[in-house]
Structure 1
Amino acid sequence: MAASLKDVAERAGVSIKTVSNVVNGTGRVGADTRARVEDVIVELGYRPNVSARSLRHSRSGVIALAVPEIGNPYFAELAELVVKAAEAYGWTVLVDQTESDPDRERLVLQGIRSHLIDGLLFVPRRLTAEDFAARTDTTPMVLLGERLTKIADRVAIDSYAAARAATEHLIDLGRTRIASIGAAESADAVTRGRFEGYRDALLAAGLRPSSRLVIPRKRWRHEDGAEAATRLLSLSKRPDAVFCSNDLLAHGALRAFHDHGVDVPAEIAVVGIDDIAESRFSRPSLSSIAPDKRHIAETAVRLLADRLKADDTPGPREFVTGFHLEVRESTAGQHG
């Protein structure tokens, strides 16, 4: 009976992966260990299955991008940029939607479609560090978003810094009753980071955060922003500015303020995060924190290409991309 990888591994006292690395000339294997494995290969007369190796090392030319919501313009714009960046490598991009459901995110993490794809770009929202530690799938992966684990390469903006910059812009306008829609103190890393940036900007300016002015939202969609803004208008002392955790919430808030006859920005200034295309064309146009989405997409694809090209790429690597504030009518007015 022909010897197998498992037989060689057991005789040499190493893992099957180590034997595979020796046979295929990949990975990092010490000189002494390599020599011992090679001696056992000769001793047992092990012969690699050439056809199986060829099949295993073939590439599909397909990578996956898993995002929470395809219908969210931010992720739609990001997906378009990922597709363009992947074209440079001759790759096709398979886009998947998790709806921020932890079970669906775990399926993505554990490689439910790993037989179809060469690599994965993943925007997790509900997974924990323990979920990542339990990952057994070996498909190369790059994470997009806040730090959850050091198990993989990561590309993101600094949500804390972005929220703080947005809130500081409102403070610089002289606003003192600044509300927050969307962010929460205890939630996923993105939501928590945006709350802390908002809170710390107020504290640094000597303003006391008010729990009545903080409206957390589980979903960040137009209707959630409109409902939250209506609640703020019901307060006996209304806010004079609103920081929204994304642009969809902000556009919903703008609609609610318009419907209630509120002058934006004279009575209430509004700022968001994401700088989606809609923000340039709304009325009033929306001031927003603009992440460098092109750089995020191109960096993530390049990191994945590095992982597919070589097993010994240092890692995990972390890239925090820049952002800037686009000031528009919702804070500066028509002639600001």
Structure 2
Amino acid sequence: MSDNELVTTSPTQSTFQDPGLPEHKLRMGDTDPVAAKRSERIVVGLFAVSILGTIGSLLAYFLVVPNETTDSVRNANIALGVTLFLSLMGIGLAAIHWAKSLMSDHEVVEERHLTASDAPTREAALTKLNDGVKDANIGRRTVLKGSVITALGLFPLTIAVPLIGSVGKDWDVSKFRHTMWKKGTRLTTDPAGRPVKASDVTIGSVVHIIPEAPEEERRSHHWITEKAKAVVLLVRMDPADLKESEERKSWSYDGIVAYSKICTHVGCPVALYEQQTHHLLCPCHQSTFDVSDGAKVVFGPAKRPLPQLPIAVDSEGYLIAQDDFNEPIGPSYWERLK
């Protein structure tokens, strides 16, 4: 067999016939006006759900106002969440059902060409678009048009009204500078609230800490919101491993150090401690802090060390705070001095 024969019989040289588009299958609504009308009513109904959800979200924003209780905050969040869900879900499902049952489903193939089409091609494209609009009977479906315009027109209010309503409210950023920690406040376990003795903290152990408060107070909404700023991670290591400046040598106790759990990047809880390296990892964006060296950043997007809580021991051997954190906790914000 010659080389020429090998080339002509090679499978890679074979040609295949273009199968073209599959045969178009009519939908029930294409042949049955009753089915088409039913699909239209479904779409209108879904847009109506979106409209009611938008109105409901506005009512929830103004009427379900949270006060100083956790239950009220939860109820307000649930009311806003459910109504916003209905508003978005109605638009989304209506768009899907409209596209599947009412819009033209004829497949159209357009060959790739230069970006600048000639006049006949543009006219042909415009004709196809007009044919699609006519096929969907949008012009005669006034209720459908009204529902979609109303739903899409009202939905932005769910975002705009809360934004406008926030103007003039509490923008006092000084509250971020201080937490519940005060001189003499005992360190207690989170969430039980049990005071911690220095003698109970072994080398290599990590304890999640909150300020001491009566159990009834710890259940209040105000305390829960303030607790979010005051959470602490307590670590004990060999005092020889600590690298402390002269200013901070009195802030620890026998190798026990306490740092804010709030990451200085975007505020995630930092709680993954590696005993051998003394590194503390934030699980959100992998910012890593060296607990043995002032919780300085050794890796990741965070730009500042974790604020340190100065601690001491009272006459009964319990760990107490000497004062509040040495600087504001959490991420950067405007008007921050440090």
- Tell me the TM-score range normalised by the shorter chain: under 0.3
Structure 1-normalised TM-score? 0.24
Greater Rg, structure 1 or structure 2?
A: 2
Structure 2-normalised TM-score? 0.24
Relative CO higher for 1 or 2, CA cutoff 8 Å, sep ≥ 6?
A: 1
